[in-house]
Chain A
Amino acid sequence: MVAALDRKLLRDLLRLWAQVLAIAMVLACGVMVLVLANGTRASLDLSRQSYYEDQRFADIFATLTRAPETLLPEIAAIPGVARIAPRIESAAIVDLPKMAEPVSAQVISLPASGAPVLNAPLLRAGRMPSPLKAGEVALYAPFAETHGLMPGDRFDAVIEGQRRTLTVTGHLLSPEHIYTIGPGAMMPDDSRFGVIWMGQEALAAAADMDGAFNAISLSLTRGAREEAVIDALDHLLAPYGGAGASGRDGQISHAFLQSELEQLGAMALVIPPIFLAVSAFLVNMVLGRLIALERQQIGLLKAVGYTTRSIGWHYLKLSLGIGAIGIVIGWVAGIELGRAMTRLYTDFFRLPVLIYAPSAWPFVLSAALAMLTVVAGAWRAVGASVRLPPAVAMSPPAPPSFRRGMTDRIGAALGLRQTTMMILRGVTRWPGRAAITLFGVAASISVLIASYFTFDAMALMVDEIFFRANRQHVTLILSQSQTEAVLEDAAHLPGVLMAEGTYSLPVRLIAGPKEELTSLTAHKPDATLSRLIDSDSQPVTMPAHGVVLPEGLAAKLGLSPGDMLRVEALAPPRETWDLPLSATIRQTVGQEAYMSAPALYALMRRAPQVNRIHLRVDAAQYPALFEAAKSTPQIAGITVWTAIRTQFEATINENLTISTVIYAALGMLITLGVIYNAARIQLSERAHELASLRVLGFRRSEVGYVLIGELIGLTFLAIPLGWLAGYGFAALVTQAFTTDIVSLPLVVSRATYTKASLIVLATAIGAALLVRRRLDHIDIVQALKARD
């Protein structure tokens, strides 16, 4: 049999269902984000981990120009090295009939016998290419699927200047290519960039690498020091054009996946506390009111012999009930969204298996936190009331005492109506409650701003990247650097209106203990196609001396303009220069160093060189240009900027729209929960007053104003607070989203501030009107009968 008090508990939950649900939903958001972020992260992490282990993902990666295989024993002998996997890497232009533009690919050699020692690809379809048949290759599975290249199909590619016809034997995935991004691209694009695996002998013949290698990866023994091994490796490879080895954090695929995992971790840390705090306040507010209403019942229970503890436990159980509802909703939503998010990830992260399989701990943790939240919220309200002696509890609460103060002077000075005075005195009488409303609504606005500003940031990025910084239509990547005479040839390609060359060399930047591998680009002071821009999106005049770094890279190295840094050239002349940082620029994609071209060539003691050519092209002539590029051996890759932009915008719209809708819903829920509950409490406390106003001849709308005026007024007050918090929140988001490749600029447009405010305002008004409707059902006569 259910105890009488427990039956009361169930009835209370049912009677207060709307308020209970409003709080439970806010709580559920916190629980949901915990389950979603931690669950997705764990799933992603787990699949990555087993993938890395099964396919022997390497620990250290290095590329070089060319080294003889006789160097390998020395590398293997570096203390801490477990296994080594040398190979040949090259670039190819793939000529696919359905693609007008040339498609780039990375070419990777497969050992003459057996699977690679490290970074073993995983066969998804067909078979591995035979090491004996020169024309057989395997393709990166998503690339092959996008182009419909099935095992047995043939296609043409230009590798090392030679055009060949290749036969597809199979589709592969690889732990190095969980996230694949082509040169110059900003997002994965399986239609424009692929990976080709071919037998070592065939590639060695094509690339003139017999008995040599130009890339190597290492795995480490347990306990080995990564930096020590990298230093030793760099030392060994330096004479052979070593471009600087890096650990996993320098491997693009790994770094991207890692940063996604960190973003999920940050999401789980930053967002749930907001929702949990708001729910705790709401529980406090609602329970406080319920207990105030039930003072006499409490007194009665005590009078008939219930203990203080059992009464306190009764109210605590009510809040635990709210917690339980929130947990269940949060779990279900978290699992569903986790599944959806994992599906979304499978488009970006090519893992052999990625299923949403959260472990138990996010559920346990979220439930524990949610219960803690409701108990914390209930504690004070329950504690204060159940301790009342029965006699006091039985008498009605003393009428609220109002004091004369500031409000009166303000009211008198402004000639405010008495109904407005009632609102003002309500705010000053219960400042804590007003503060909760302010806090909740401001939190709502900040969540919305932090979500909508990403569109501003992306719009700025598109504008800067495609219209201000990169005004070229096409960039040609040359297989080897050449003299500036090559610009003449480029200018004669079909449709080319203007050609501008740049040169970049791999460097290591060193500032004290901090190091970064990147490339240093010779920037011509008069360049008009590829420009550098500052944080106001304005073109930067290239300083004559010193190095220019993107803000993000400078910050990473702990440098500000004027500081000295060491630049180690990882290509000939392989010298080390101490140079000042002369300026910082804004670069949202890619983090490269720049120097004035004459200054760099002077340091290098070389004639000007070119390894990238930027072109402005007559749009009508694209096909002819692409045709020419496909048959020009010196061109190793081609970047078509409009195509990148289209794809960038499409990806943003798709992914951002989903997450924005989710965050907007989260943001609105806070306001809904706070305003709805506050309005319900107002209605319950003031029913008598409001009915009296109706008796006095006030219209429904006027009485409605007294009921919701305070809440709407507080909402307006919360807007600027929300703006401030939203900007801070946006700053956190930019930090979380910044990777080595993309750094999100912190810009919040007026439209975003306005949109966030309007949405929250509309939600607040909607929530308040939901309650105001109840005003119509108040029985005036009934309300006047009793004193309370």
Chain B
Amino acid sequence: MVFCRKAPRLGATLWIETPMTQAKPVLRTEAVTRVYRTGSVEVHALRGVTMGLDEGEMVVLLGASGSGKSTLLNILGALDLPSTGRVFFRDRELTRASDRELTQFRREHVGFVFQFYNLMPALTARENVALVTEISENPMRPEEALERVGLGHRLDHFPAELSGGEQQRVAIARAIAKRPELLLCDEPTGALDSQTGITVLEALQQVNRDLGTATAIITHNAGIRKIAHRVIYLADGQIAREEINETPIPPSEVTW
């Protein structure tokens, strides 16, 4: 299975004029379960999750600790495979792909942002972004990606010389520089104070709006749900309920 490199992508302007209604799922899961076995103990982290992530959509995943949010996100990003069930990226079934093809999928289509930035300490901000643009087909310039997250003036700083929020924005720049179709964020503001968290969320929302990147954000902060188009509540490895948010608010208005 080979993923098509030129996946159809809607222009940003077009998308803003025609929200939600015409959207098709970029990624969807069918009855996904995930069982962890440690010795004799079995942990059912996911118990049949069926969901989709549409083009240009921003989704927030909420749920108690241990409810399976990270597990689901990792499966969406092909970092992990479900125990049963299927995952599709457009028409391709990820659950049948080889390890090599999954790598290729992440390389071309997915951007990740984690709680602990995961930057390369030996590379400067610009180089951390270049790390990804060098292996992408149609990336933006590293400088452009960093400007988008408001770091145009910190290009040549090493991670150790940046604040936590700045590091997280470098991570976002690195995730979006290849113009991915999917942006998966696991507690991107978890290690940040509210003010810095807002800047990071603004960067994410802006990317989602300007580039039409389907974005999933895990958070423990229920207030953040208001910036999303849709909110998925996970409980005990299942989707407890969903909420459509007709009018997302800017992060600066989030009550932290």
Residue ranges of A at the interface with B (Cβ–Cβ < 8 Å)? 398-402, 404, 417-419, 421-422, 425-426, 429, 688-689, 692-700, 702, 780-781, 784, 787
Are A425 and B116 neighbours in the complex by a CB distance under 8 Å? no
Q: Chain A residues near B100 (CB, 8 Å)?
A: 699
Q: Mark B123-149, 1 if CB is under 8 A from A, else 0.
A: 110011011101100000000000000
Are A418 and B127 neighbours in the complex by a CB distance under 8 Å? yes
How far, in Å, is B156 (CB) from chain A's closest CB? 7
Main SS of the interface on chain A? helix
Asked if B158 lies at the interface with its beta carbon under 8 angstroms from chain A, I say yes
Are A417 and B134 neighbours in the complex by a CB distance under 8 Å? yes
Choose among B118, B122, B124, B159 the residue that contacts A695 (Cβ–Cβ < 8 A): B118
Q: Mark B96-128, 1 if CB is under 8 A from A, else 0.
A: 000110011111101010101011111110011
Taken together as a complex, chains A and B put the C-alpha atoms of A310 and B217 apart, in Å, by 48
Q: Chain B residues near A429 (CB, 8 Å)?
A: 122
Asked if B23 lies at the interface with its beta carbon under 8 angstroms from chain A, I say no
Q: Chain B residues near A700 (CB, 8 Å)?
A: 99, 103
Choose among B77, B112, B122, B132 the residue that contacts A402 (Cβ–Cβ < 8 A): B122
Taken together as a complex, chains A and B put the C-alpha atoms of A345 and B184 apart, in Å, by 72
How far, in Å, is B34 (CB) from chain A's closest CB? 11
Are B74 and A781 neighbours in the complex by a CB distance under 8 Å? yes
Q: A402-B122, A422-B122, A784-B114 are in contact. Are A695 and B160 (CB under 8 A)?
A: no
Are B159 and A419 neighbours in the complex by a CB distance under 8 Å? no
Q: Chain A residues near B20 (CB, 8 Å)?
A: none
Are B121 and A695 neighbours in the complex by a CB distance under 8 Å? no
Closest A residue to B171 by beta carbon equals A692
Taken together as a complex, chains A and B put the C-alpha atoms of A404 and B156 apart, in Å, by 9
Are A422 and B123 neighbours in the complex by a CB distance under 8 Å? yes
Choose among A404, A422, A784 the residue that contacts B120 (Cβ–Cβ < 8 A): A422
Are A696 and B112 neighbours in the complex by a CB distance under 8 Å? yes
Q: Chain B residues near A425 (CB, 8 Å)?
A: 122-123
Choose among A400, A419, A426 the residue that contacts B131 (Cβ–Cβ < 8 A): A419
Are B103 and A698 neighbours in the complex by a CB distance under 8 Å? yes
Taken together as a complex, chains A and B put the C-alpha atoms of A695 and B74 apart, in Å, by 10
Asked if B30 lies at the interface with its beta carbon under 8 angstroms from chain A, I say no
Closest 4 CB pairs of A and B: A697-B107, A697-B106, A425-B122, A418-B131
Are B127 and A400 neighbours in the complex by a CB distance under 8 Å? no
Asked if B80 lies at the interface with its beta carbon under 8 angstroms from chain A, I say yes
Taken together as a complex, chains A and B put the C-alpha atoms of A431 and B124 apart, in Å, by 20
Interchain residue pairs with CB less than 8 A apart (23)? A399-B160, A400-B121, A401-B161, A418-B123, A418-B134, A419-B131, A421-B122, A421-B127, A425-B123, A426-B122, A693-B120, A696-B107, A696-B131, A697-B107, A697-B108, A698-B107, A699-B107, A700-B99, A700-B103, A702-B135, A780-B80, A781-B79, A784-B118
Q: Chain A residues near B119 (CB, 8 Å)?
A: 692
How far, in Å, is A73 (CB) from chain B's closest CB? 90
Q: A402-B158, A421-B127, A696-B132 are in contact. Are A688 and B79 (CB under 8 A)?
A: no
Closest A residue to B111 by beta carbon equals A696
Closest A residue to B130 by beta carbon equals A418
Among A399, A692, A697, find the residue whose CB has the most chain B CB atoms closer than 10 A: A697
Q: Chain B residues near A781 (CB, 8 Å)?
A: 74, 79-80
Taken together as a complex, chains A and B put the C-alpha atoms of A723 and B118 apart, in Å, by 42
Closest A residue to B131 by beta carbon equals A418
| Extra pairs beyond A422-B120, A695-B118, A698-B103 (14, CB < 8 Å) | A399-B159, A399-B160, A400-B160, A401-B160, A402-B121, A422-B122, A425-B122, A425-B123, A693-B120, A693-B131, A695-B77, A696-B106, A697-B108, A697-B135
Taken together as a complex, chains A and B put the C-alpha atoms of A401 and B121 apart, in Å, by 8
B148-191 at interface with A (beta carbon < 8 Å): 156, 158-161, 174
Q: Chain B residues near A401 (CB, 8 Å)?
A: 158, 160-161
Taken together as a complex, chains A and B put the C-alpha atoms of A426 and B156 apart, in Å, by 17
Among A419, A426, A696, A784, find the residue whose CB has the most chain B CB atoms closer than 10 A: A696
Among A402, A418, A426, find the residue whose CB has the most chain B CB atoms closer than 10 A: A418
Taken together as a complex, chains A and B put the C-alpha atoms of A398 and B77 apart, in Å, by 31
Q: Chain B residues near A419 (CB, 8 Å)?
A: 131
Are A692 and B158 neighbours in the complex by a CB distance under 8 Å? no
Taken together as a complex, chains A and B put the C-alpha atoms of A340 and B106 apart, in Å, by 59
Q: Chain A residues near B174 (CB, 8 Å)?
A: 696
How far, in Å, is A711 (CB) from chain B's closest CB? 16
Taken together as a complex, chains A and B put the C-alpha atoms of A401 and B128 apart, in Å, by 15
Q: A399-B121, A402-B158 are in contact. Are A695 and B106 (CB under 8 A)?
A: yes
Are B79 and A780 neighbours in the complex by a CB distance under 8 Å? yes
How far, in Å, is B119 (CB) from chain A's closest CB? 8
Q: A417-B134, A425-B123 are in contact. Are A692 and B118 (CB under 8 A)?
A: yes
Q: Mark B200-234, 1 if CB is under 8 A from A, else 0.
A: 00000000000000000000000000000000000
How far, in Å, is A744 (CB) from chain B's closest CB? 48
Q: Chain A residues near B106 (CB, 8 Å)?
A: 695-697
Closest B residue to A401 by beta carbon equals B160
Q: Chain B residues near A418 (CB, 8 Å)?
A: 120, 123, 127-128, 130-131, 134
How far, in Å, is A725 (CB) from chain B's closest CB? 31
Q: Chain A residues near B120 (CB, 8 Å)?
A: 418, 422, 689, 692-693
Closest B residue to A688 by beta carbon equals B118
Closest B residue to A702 by beta carbon equals B135
How far, in Å, is B113 (CB) from chain A's closest CB? 10
Q: Chain B residues near A400 (CB, 8 Å)?
A: 121-122, 160
Closest A residue to B178 by beta carbon equals A697
Among B77, B112, B174, find the residue whose CB has the most chain A CB atoms closer than 10 A: B112
Q: Chain B residues near A693 (CB, 8 Å)?
A: 120, 131
How far, in Å, is A747 (CB) from chain B's closest CB? 45
Choose among A422, A694, A697, A699 the residue that contacts B110 (Cβ–Cβ < 8 A): A697
Taken together as a complex, chains A and B put the C-alpha atoms of A404 and B155 apart, in Å, by 12
Taken together as a complex, chains A and B put the C-alpha atoms of A402 and B127 apart, in Å, by 13
Q: Chain A residues near B156 (CB, 8 Å)?
A: 404
Closest A residue to B99 by beta carbon equals A700
Q: Chain B residues near A399 (CB, 8 Å)?
A: 121, 159-160
Q: Chain B residues near A692 (CB, 8 Å)?
A: 118-120
Q: Chain B residues near A696 (CB, 8 Å)?
A: 106-107, 112, 131-132, 174
Are B121 and A697 neighbours in the complex by a CB distance under 8 Å? no
Q: Chain A residues near B122 (CB, 8 Å)?
A: 400, 402, 421-422, 425-426, 429
How far, in Å, is A707 (CB) from chain B's closest CB? 13
Taken together as a complex, chains A and B put the C-alpha atoms of A542 and B124 apart, in Å, by 72
Closest A residue to B157 by beta carbon equals A404
